[in-house]
Chain A
Amino acid sequence: MINALKSVLLVEDNELDVELTLEAFKGNNLANSVQVVRDGEEALEYLYREGRFQGRPEGNPILVLLDLKMPKVNGLDVLRKVKADPDLKSIPIVMLTTSKEEQDLVESYKLGVNAYVVKPVHFPDFVTAISQLGTFWALVNNPPPGSVRQ
């Protein structure tokens, strides 16, 4: 499973948020295309095909859903690194965060984030937000060349 090719990379350290997000993706049949990693370090390993992702097939995800607050390497660090890398910077990145703290919002856009979404507390809104994101980025949007669409 680890080495299977997935089109959406979900970077989220909270087990419960992962479960809720995958539940929301079921609505547009994207749940099976999601690769979950638990922190920024793993996310970078996945994108650079290093560590336990050394053997994964080539190609970039068509969307990265990135949690802001994570242990070790946080969302902003991942964003900074990816947007500074010519091979990765075209991957659409959506920041998922718990609250709209202005400093994070400003910093994210400065670093070149493609969208910034505050996870709604009300679950039906959360489902709507996640499935709309999935629909737009994974189904409507044309990803940059070199991306993997299942």
Chain B
Amino acid sequence: MMAEEAEKPGRQEASAETPGRMPGPELPDSQLELLRLAVQHAPLILSVYDKEFRFRLLMGGALGERGMKENQLVGLDAREVLKDNPELLASLEKAKQGHTHRWLGERTGVYLEAYVSPIFDGKGEFNGLVSMALNVTDRVKAQAEVLRLNAELEAKIKERTGELEEAIHELEAFSYSVSHDLRAPLRHIGGFLELLLKKSAASLDDQGRRYLGIISDSAKRMDSLITDLLSFSRVNRQERLSLRFSMAELTAQVIHDLDPDLQGREVEWTVGELPDAVGDLSMIRQVMANLLANAVKFTLGRQPARIEIGALAEDEGKNTYFVRDNGAGFEMKYYEKLFGIFQRLHGAAEFEGTGIGLANVRRIVHRHGGTVWAEGAVGRGATFSFTLPAPPVPKPAP
């Protein structure tokens, strides 16, 4: 393509450094003929001017498309011929100062790019100009299209970002309002129930007291749902730290914290070697706490309950950790629901819960660039796995 030809930097720089000179030794006729043929077939317009800016030569394969004939302007003054193109004329004047000059302009819908260089005679005196013009319409149009598409894309990104920011802002306002406005009526239900029990319990029969108990339990449950909903929305809003931490230490702490829930239970813990990970310690603690609390919860009734925590070998900068139990398990056909918010695969009578834990686990792991998945079968336990970035391998000392 001719545009590409013109883009070759060497040509322009070379002529800028060492302005073209008239060839010294005469060329043999055969080579002169070759040169003429080459110029006639090259997709360009080659013009040579004398030092008075009169056309001395006009050749090139692109003359036809401009409606011109070979050498049709020879002898005419370029200042006269090009008077409606002052920019190109200015390029000729500048090139006369000793350097190649580039001109890009549009004539009747066609974009032309011209390189004008001075010619010096054997004594180094200015002796005229040579200009090579190329049709670069396709290139200019493609560049304009690229610019237009970029601008369009940028405008779209700006628009979407704005929408997203607004949505986040609305979500924050929403959770703020949830935490305030839904809590107050709940507090009133609980408070006045308590007062009713204190002051009028004697005048209530058993059924009446049972109803009050149900109202009270429902209010408490709604409070825990609101608390969980807020913790879920906070996972997204919270700033995430990225530091190396010991998964082994974190796991030991979480197991220790679960002690009060294990009263009267027989649980066999197996903790394998757990490599360090990189991430937000408090968020990952939430992940581990959720998975281990689930394992404890769903192994209720197992004698003994077995819970194993381990890790697989590092792969592509990621560590894989897993928590395996011999508990109630789950049906793989409901897998899609497992990590959904407020989704539960077990009835409240069977196992308590709000259905927020695994939704939080997934959000946190995703925010760390990891993945989380599970395998299980009803009555045969479950295995939950997640990946986290592994710490960078330290460079060996030189």
Give the distance in Å from the alpha carbon of A91 to the alpha carbon of B179 in the complex. 29
Complex interface residues of chain A between 111 and 126 (CB less than 8 A to chain B) = 119-124, 126
8 nearest A-B pairs in the assembled complex, by CB-CB distance: A99-B179, A123-B194, A123-B191, A20-B191, A16-B188, A98-B183, A121-B223, A98-B180
CB-CB < 8 A to B194: which residues of A? 123-124
C-alpha spacing A16/B220, complex, angstroms: 18
**A–B complex contacts, Cβ < 8 Å, 5 sampled:** A23-B191, A23-B195, A99-B179, A120-B187, A123-B193
What are the residues of chain A within 8 A of B192 when measuring CB–CB? 16, 20
Q: Chain A residues with Cβ under 8 A from B191's Cβ?
A: 16, 20, 23, 123, 126
Check if A28 is an interface residue, CB within 8 A of chain B. Answer: no
Contact with A along B209-222 (1 / 0, CB 8 A): 00000000001100
Contact present for A69 and B180 (CB under 8 Å): yes
Q: Which residues of B contact A101 (CB under 8 A)?
A: 176, 179-180
- Encode B146-187 as 1/0 by CB contact (under 8 A) with A: 000000000000000000000000000000100110011011
B190 within 8 A of A: yes
Q: Is the CB of A122 within 8 A of B190?
A: yes
The answer to whether residues A17 and B184 also contact, given A98-B179, A101-B179, A122-B190 and a CB cut-off of 8 A, is yes
Minimum Cβ distance to chain B for residue A131 (Å)? 14
* Cβ contact within 8 Å between A99 and B195: no
Closest to B197 in A: A123
Give the nearest-CB partner of B237 in chain A.
Answer: A102
A120 to B191: give the CA distance in the assembly, Å. Answer: 10
Contact B183 A121 (CB under 8 A): yes
Q: How far is the CA of A130 from the CA of B333 in the complex (A)?
A: 50
Known: A98-B179, A121-B183. 6 other contacts (CB 8 A): A20-B187, A20-B191, A23-B191, A23-B195, A120-B187, A123-B187
A residues in contact with B179, CB < 8 Å: 98-99, 101
Complex alpha-carbon distance, A124 and B219, angstroms: 14
CB–CB B183/A99 < 8 A: yes
Instruction: Indicate if the CB atoms of A98 and B193 lie closer than 8 Å.
Output: no
How far, in angstroms, from A124 to B179 measured CA to CA in the complex?
A: 20
**What is the 8 Å Cβ interface bit string for chain A, positions 20-48, against chain B (1 contact, 0 not)?**
10010000000000000000000000000
Size of the chain A interface, CB-CB below 8 angstroms: 17
Question: Do residues B176 and A122 form an inter-chain contact, with CB atoms below 8 A?
Answer: no
The residue from B184, B195, B219, B220 contacting A98, defined by CB atoms under 8 A apart: B184
CA distance A85 to B201 in the complex (A): 49
A14 interface residue (CB < 8 Å to B): yes
Q: Which of chain B's residues has its CB closest to A14's CB?
A: B184
Residues of A within 8 A of B220 (CB): 121-122
User: Inside 8 A of B193's CB, which chain A residues have their CB?
Assistant: 123
CB B93 to nearest CB in A, in angstroms, measures 67
From B187, B195, B219, B230, contact of A119 by CB (8 A): B187
How far in angstroms is the closest Cβ of chain A from B396?
Answer: 44
Establish whether residues B188 and A99, one from each chain, have CB atoms under 8 Å apart when the complex forms.
Answer: no
Bitwise, B364-382 to A at CB < 8 A (1) or not (0) is 0000000000000000000
Q: With contacts A16-B192, A23-B195 known, is A126 near B187, CB below 8 A?
A: yes
Interface centre among A17, A20, A99, A119, by most B CB within 10 Å?
A: A99
- Chain B residues lying within 8 Å of A123, measured Cβ to Cβ, are 187, 190-191, 193-195
A124 to B180, CA, bound (A): 20
A104 closest partner in B (C-beta): B176
Instruction: With both chains docked as a complex, state the minimum distance between the C-beta of A30 and any C-beta of chain B, in angstroms.
Output: 18
Nearest to A20 among chain B residues (CB) is B191
Residue among A23, A120, A123 with the highest chain B CB neighbour number at 10 A: A123
On whether the beta carbons of A98 and B176 are closer than 8 Å, the reply is: no
Give, as a whole number of angstroms, the nearest-CB distance from A106 to chain B: 14
Does the CB pair A121–B187 fall under 8 Å?
Answer: yes
Inter-subunit contact A121/B186 (CB<8 Å): yes
Q: Which one of A69, A98, A124 contacts B187 once the chains associate, using CB atoms below 8 Å?
A: A98
Instruction: Determine which of B180, B190, B230 lies in contact with A121 in the assembled complex, contact meaning CB atoms within 8 Å.
Output: B190
Instruction: Determine the residue in chain B with the shortest Cβ distance to A119.
Output: B187
Q: Are A99 and B180 in contact (CB under 8 A)?
A: yes
Interchain CA distance A119-B183 in the complex, whole Å: 10
Nearest Cβ in chain B — how far from A65, in angstroms?
15
Bound: A99/B175 CA distance, A: 11
CA distance A122 to B216 in the complex (A): 9
What residues of chain A lie closer than 8 Å to B184, measured between beta carbons? 14, 17, 98
A17-B191 Cα distance, complex, nearest whole Å: 9
